[in-house]
Structure 1
Amino acid sequence: MTRQHLTFACEGATLLGTLDRETSSHSAGLLIVSGGNELRAGSWSGQAQLAARLAGEGFPVFRYDRRGVGDSKGENLSFRHSGPDIAAALAAFRAAMPHLSRVVAFGNCDAAAALMLNAPALALDAMVLANPWTIDGEEAPEAMPASAIRSRYLAKLANPREVWRLLTGGVNLAKLAKGLRSAAAPTAAPQGLVDEMKAALSAFTGETAILLASRDRTAQMFSEVWGIADQRIQRVDSASHSFSDEAAREWLHARLIEMLTR
């Protein structure tokens, strides 16, 4: 596996990306879009490790720093305005690997939201969207989503020790009642960012997979406003937002291979 660093332009700014590949590679490749202000290596170098593994299996992988992040120049305009960065990275990837006939994009958190928002304008064949961000801003609300509260109480009821605490008076009943009211609260109708994501994704003609770590707070917030009936949703029992535990990491790798080989 070889690793090559490339520069490319985006609206007058110079961006830096990394291409991992084998000498002989498949005709499908993966574009990794980083979330938040994360560097292209990813948290705990997870994206770099994922890229190296897939490249070793013959799938070229391109990842990059968007404007104003890491090694890239320009102003950081947040995920809301990162469409030109994604398009420029995609063009650089295709130019470096002209034999590619299928490009899949992968994004986690607000990178997934950015891909959704810009999907109709991107020359992508497929997208893998993980734990999509649904808050119209960059900070999560302090209150837990109702789905997270329900999940927490169901886990407690399945624990004999917690049931014994309830029966023997070891549980604050006022706090319990407040929690149950929150768990039963109706989900607010989607609006703003979520409406835009749904509209843009509906106009995307390629394939889409939505991956959720079921115990991750961002994934739970997504489920609250998106609806569980979407057949594109797949879940793994994990609390890791970045799929850092071994089981979730292997599950994510398998889902990406599935999309790359279709």
Structure 2
Amino acid sequence: MNCDQRAIRFNCLGSSMIGIIDLPERPLPRGVLVVAGQPDSRLGAQRQFAMLARALARRGFAVMRFDRRGVGDSEGCDYNDSDVRAAVQEFCQQVPGVREVVLLAPGSGSAIATASACARIDPRVRALLLLDPRRRANAARTAHMLAPPVPAPAPIGAALFWRRSQPPRRGPSSGARLAGLAEQLCAFPGQVLVVAATSAWAGPTPAQAEVRQLRALVERAGTSNRVQIIDDAAPAPADRAAGGRLDGDALRAATCASWMVSW
């Protein structure tokens, strides 16, 4: 399907915001709004959002990406749920045929909270599509491995005594983290699809075990009829791009498109 791109500018709380709409010839009544998280711009990490938007547009879905306030080309110094609500309104005005909106976001707790807040206020927000929640959840845990160590001043006197006497701080366990994620997903008032990157073609991994546990928690809550959790499976040979490279964007777009027409 032939597609076009449209650059737009809209306002939110006095700040000018920039967005891009990938528009097919005959857009379906269900569109996709990409809600990037800080520090990602509308392009996404390694242009993930841009490539996915184009792939979905070729399947008939209008897709809008935008820079949130204080990110990329948009003005402002911070963002909250207001910029997402303003983007939903602008998207539906720019593409009048879009009557329902699916929010596509990186899988973080803040993204789920933002989507839930918007869905409760705007009935056009019908669904949430999360990408790689486990990768996002582990980002903070591995950040210290990527950043160069910063020497801390040596404690002296009473400070040294109290530091040694305190038990080490520990982050939430894997089970507690997954239980919190499942609770957020089940509380969203609409359809949910979680696409988890598990590198399934590399054999059994801890990531796959976490996905199975998360799926079990959703089933136990009785919401598996509207909250689906799937593995980001390896592309089949027919889905390989030129040169033998695995075309993960096309595979992910096909998965998302099939889900969006299934309900």
TM-score (norm 2): 0.65
- Kindly indicate whether the alpha-carbon contact (under 8 Å) linking 2:27 and 2:97 is maintained by their aligned counterparts in 1: no
- Counterpart Cα distance in 2 of 1:237 and 1:23: 30
Aligned counterparts of 1:42 and 1:246: Cα–Cα separation in 2: 19
SS at match of 1:125: strand
- Please state how far the C-alpha of 1:109 moved relative to its aligned partner: 3.9
Q: Unaligned stretches of 5+ in structure 1?
A: 145-185, 239-243
Native 8 Å contact 1:30 1:260 kept in 2: no
Structure 2 equivalent of residue 116 of structure 1: 112
Q: What is residue 213 of structure 1 aligned with on the other side?
A: 197
1:190 aligns with 176
Q: TM-score, normalised by structure 1?
A: 0.65
What residue in structure 1 maps to residue 74 of structure 2?
Answer: 72
**Alpha-carbon offset, residue 233 of structure 1:** 1.3
Q: Which runs of 5+ in 2 are unaligned?
A: 146-171, 201-205, 219-223, 235-240
The answer to whether the Cα contact below 8 Å between 1:134 and 1:222 also exists between their aligned partners in 2 is no
Task: Give, as a single letter, the amino acid of the residue that structure 2 aligns with 1:93.
Answer: F
- Residue 203 of structure 2 corresponds to none
Partner of 1:91: 89
> 1:134 touches 1:194 (CA, 8 Å); kept in 2?
no
The Cα offsets for residues 237-256 of structure 1, whole Å up to 9 and x where unpaired, read as 46xxxxx9725323311221
- 2:51–2:249 Cα contact (<8 Å) kept: no
| Structure 1 equivalent of residue 39 of structure 2 | 37
Distance, in Å, in 1 between the alignment partners of 2:30 and 2:174 is: 40
Q: What stretches of structure 1 move > 6 A for 4+ residues in a row?
A: none
Deviations 1:87-130 (A, max 9, x none): 221121112122212211111244xx333112332231111111
The residue aligned with 2:141 is 140
CA shift in 2, pair 1:120/1:48, >3 Å: closer
- The code of the aligned residue for 2:176 comes to P
In structure 2, the residue corresponding to 1:51 is in which secondary structure? helix
Match of 1:261 in 2: 261
Q: Residue 246 of structure 1 aligns to a residue in which SS?
A: coil
Cα gap change, 1:188/1:22 in structure 2, threshold over 3 Å: closer, same or farther? closer
Q: 1:28 to 1:14 in 2, by over 3 A?
A: same
Distance 1:194 1:14, change over 3 A: farther
Q: Does 1:62 align with 2:64?
A: yes
C-alpha displacement of 1:189: 5.1
Change (3 A) 1:70 1:2: same
Equivalent in the alignment of 1:235: 231
> What's the secondary structure of 2:176's corresponding residue?
coil
Question: Residues 150-204 of structure 1, C-alpha deviation per residue, up to 9 Å, x if partnerless?
Answer: xxxxxxxxxxxxxxxxxxxxxxxxxxxxxxxxxxxx945526x974x55543332
Shift of 1:131: 1.5
Instruction: Name the CA distance, whole Å, in 1 between partners of 2:24 and 2:231.
Output: 31
Report % sequence identity.
26
Shift of 1:38: 1.3
Change in Cα spacing, 1:21 to 1:43, as seen in structure 2 (3 Å) is: same
Note if contact 1:119-1:200 (Cα within 8 Å) is conserved in structure 2.
Answer: no
Deviations 1:37-59 (A, max 9, x none): 11212233232222223223321
Map Cα deviations across residues 67-91 of structure 1 (whole Å, 9 max, x no partner): 11110010135xxxx3222222112
- Write the distance in 2 (CA, Å) between the matches of 1:53 and 1:199: 31
Q: Which secondary structure state, in structure 2, belongs to the residue aligned with residue 234 of structure 1?
A: strand
Match of 1:101 in 2: 99
